[in-house]
Structure 1
Amino acid sequence: MYRRTNKTQINYRKSYNKVNIVSAQCEQSDTAVQRIPELRRVIEITDYDKGVATTRRLELYKTNRIDCYRVVVDGKLWKERIG
């Protein structure tokens, strides 16, 4: 086991005090909790290759995983979960 010097012990106390102060501030502010909205992203793709502009609208909704989306293309469900 390593011996803790006075300097090290003082640094430990400082760092733990900072962590405690920051965590106390986070607990006091109720606005710090961010709610994820149901509709996360909207992507509009316009295709000009056919001579007529064709626009597709992809809506990405939240799922039970943070890195996956439920994808709706032009109002119809395309994939239940894609990431």
Structure 2
Amino acid sequence: MQHRFSKTNRRNRHYFPAALVLLLLANIAPAQKQYPTVGYIERLDSAINAIVSPGAKAEVIATGFDWSEGPLWIEKQQALL
């Protein structure tokens, strides 16, 4: 039976803080996936900046669908649904 203060335990005890620091550093800035952008956001009123970041871009996050839903522009009402 190994005593809890044996040489092996004392030596291994020093690896734990180093391993913990490495794990924390690895999770600080995880890589973000880059999506291709398309078009631009036309800002007709600066009030849009309250809900859409000034640096926002329209990103293509998926392709290859036969059918999908998305925004619908109604010309007569000048509205986006």
Q: Same fold (TM over 0.5)?
A: no
* Greater relative contact order (CA < 8 Å, ≥ 6 in sequence): 2
TM-score using structure 1 length:
0.30
Q: Which is strand-richer, 1 or 2?
A: 1
Larger Rg: 2
